[in-house]
Chain A
Amino acid sequence: MALSASSPVVLEGENLTMRFGGLVAMAEVAFTLKRGEILGIIGPNGAGKSTLLNIITGIYIPSSGEVRLEGERLNGVPAHKIVARGIARTFQSSRLFGDLSVLDNVVIGRHTHTKAGVFDAIFRRGRAKAELEAAAAHAETLLKSVSRGLHEQRHRPAGELAQADRRRLEIARALATDPKVLLLDEPSSGMDDADTDALMDDIRAVCAQRPDLALMIIEHDMRLVASLPHRVMVLDYGQKLADGPYEEIRKIPRVQEAYLGRKATQHAGA
């Protein structure tokens, strides 16, 4: 892959802290993400993984610290503008537009790359229509490149898709925004091993086609975490426990404890 030691940093976070009233959901977390890199994020439930994604995508504004995309501060930029700047995401519980066609879901992903407003739609229809049809053509190509099976189902309502295809569609929709950084929130949740393997192949294919795309994947499935990311960051109780290649991470006792639970570690030790 395109990642090398000299690749520039695309996204970085510094001292990120998130408080909800008295609850500290995230304390002074820092991270970097290089161009073309895949960063895995692991940690038990409630460790602050999704909070981190919500901070990066502008859904939460961090209590302190800052997020920078290619050196530009993102704090306080509204979520819809962050997408336009190049950060796209998927959701843990897939959030598709279920009553729209598969194709329309991806066309909506082209929103930031199209312009037509109410006035254009009504009085300059030719222009608005040409723009939307170009977006639809783009969406078709994208669907085809992400998954042939999905492309064949493009005229079905998204709500009728099987679980694995829903995930793929979410990834395709996010890619339609032409992101520099793609954040995947537990892409394999609710999938069996075969589906997860297929998903990993799809993600690899997506990355191969876009060598500059940086990926952040929150995951619980250790098989995926072991093989896909270049680097893994461990979060626990809103703090960063460790950050490094999977082979190093898995050996740290505190990681085993945080991830597998105290009991399991004791058993493993015994």
Chain B
Amino acid sequence: MTRSEHSARAASNPVAGMATVVVVQLAGAVFLRQFLLIEDWRLVIGLLLIFGAALVLMERVPSLEARVEAAFARHSRLALLLGMAIVLGFPFVLEGNTYALHLCVISMLYAVLALALNFQLGSANIPNFATGASYGIGAYASALLALNFGVSFWVALPVAAVVATIFGFLLGIPSMRTRDSYLALVTIAFGVVIHQLLNNLEFTGGPNGLVGIPVPELFGHSFGDPLVIFGQELPSQANFYYLSALLVLISIVFARRLHDSRVGLAWNALRTDELAARCQGINVTWYKVLAFAVDAFLAGFAGTIYAFYVGFISPDNFTFLVSVTIMTMVIAGGMDNILGVIVGAFLLTLLPEKLRAFSDYRILFFGVTVIAFLMIRPQGLFPQRLRRYGD
């Protein structure tokens, strides 16, 4: 109805559509840059208010949202190219601020984790509280390979993802005997077991964790060295910035392709009604286990990058709380919406850092902000959309 009208309007005026795409993307980038760089807590609050106001506007004037959406759908190639250019150029406008770059890296790793969990929580409504554990398994698997066998980062990366996937299957299979809250309990238990094992096993280094994970190298360039591009020197974090940006890109491609496929549809079907899904010929058990495996696979990747980025890991990096945070990112960002999940991950990673001025009260402010945003947009920042075929 209104949607097609708007796309028709956007089609009749391609310049306006392209301008919309450019303005929205640049505004987003500028907003993120300012948010990363400012120190003064009053300015942080100001930016959050602007963000809140934008959400109110989107909620109150649905036609505006629809118009932006139509513009992006119509000029998807422009949006993609500009988006990539912004991501590539972003480290150059951060004034060499290593802390801002570090936050970007962590946010992107969490974005990958949130996208991973979104396959389960968003697409299939499986409350998995063990994404943090899969993240940890990936990190430990790759770190152990590197420390004990001198395996390079590039080999450890896929191997760790496979190890995490195997654990994902191991968790998925017993979980299939339960559902809803009981399923959540099984995954919580799995997360606790993994944490306890990492804490108590000899070869994982116990509570001290693993230290001295070697810095990755690519074509003789060490990721510990500053990155020089076009004569511009970027801090060493930029290496990992580009690496995790690539991982986010891969995750988005995975997420989009799966969402727009028969698999995504099957997940959506069992999310709404398991019995009805079975009666359409969907092997519900298999698709649930598959969701666990895909989640663990991507989380394993993120874990490896984290381990090699930070250089040392301990069980406390992968607690139950990490899983809960990832879950909040998916819920607050918007279930089954890729953009929403990524925005949720950035917001929830950056907020506590930016609210440091409130010291002891920062978690309180963090909670209040998330609740406020959810009150404005109860379905998450960017709710799920219906699929379209062909047109």
Binding site for B on A (CB under 8 A): 57, 59, 78-81, 83-84, 88-89, 91, 95-101, 103-104, 107-109, 111-112, 114-118, 120-122, 125, 128-129, 131-133, 135-137, 155, 157, 173, 177
Contact = CB atoms under 8 A, between A and B. Distances in A.
B386 A104 contact: yes
B107 to A, nearest CB: 24
Given A108-B268, A128-B262, 7 more contacts: A99-B268, A107-B265, A112-B280, A121-B260, A137-B389, A155-B388, A177-B280
Contact of A84 (B254, B257, B281): B281
B263 A104 contact: no
Interface string B255-299: 001101111111011001101111111111000001000100000
A155 B276 contact: no
Contacts of B384: 99
A134 to B, nearest CB: 10
B77 interface: no
Contacts of A128: 257, 261-262
Contacts of A89: 279
Nearest to B273: A95
Contacts of B260: 121, 129, 132
B177 interface: no
Given A100-B268, A108-B280, A111-B282, A59 B387 contact: no
Contacts of A99: 268, 272, 384
B279 A121 contact: no
Contact of B276 (A97, A103, A116, A122): A97
A132 B389 contact: yes
16 contacts: A80-B278, A80-B283, A83-B280, A91-B276, A91-B279, A95-B275, A96-B272, A97-B268, A97-B273, A97-B276, A104-B386, A108-B265, A111-B262, A111-B281, A121-B258, A129-B260
Contacts of A80: 278-284
A97 B269 contact: yes
Interface in B356-391: 384, 386-390
Contacts of B389: 103, 132-133, 136-137
Contact of B386 (A114, A136, A157): A157
A224 B279 CA distance: 25
Interface in B287-315: 290, 294
B388 A122 contact: no
A100 B268 CA distance: 8
A131 B257 CA distance: 13
Nearest to A95: B276
A122 B280 contact: no
B272 A98 contact: yes
A155 B386 contact: yes
Contacts of B262: 111, 114-117, 121, 128, 131-132, 135
Contacts of A122: 253-254, 257-258
User: Which 9 pairs between the two chains have the least Cβ-Cβ distance?
Assistant: A121-B261, A112-B281, A83-B281, A95-B276, A136-B389, A79-B278, A97-B272, A101-B386, A111-B281
B279 A111 contact: no
A97 B387 CA distance: 13
Interface centre among B254, B262, B294 (most CB of A within 10 A): B262
Nearest to A58: B278
Contacts of A100: 265, 268-269, 272, 386-387
A108 B257 contact: no
A133 B390 contact: yes
Contacts of A108: 265-266, 268-269, 277, 280, 282
Interface in B223-278: 253-254, 257-258, 260-266, 268-269, 272-273, 275-278
A53 to B, nearest CB: 10
A108 B280 CA distance: 7
B388 to A, nearest CB: 7
Nearest to B276: A95
Interface centre among A78, A109, A132, A157 (most CB of B within 10 A): A132
B258 A118 contact: yes
Contacts of B253: 122
B282 to A, nearest CB: 5
B270 to A, nearest CB: 9
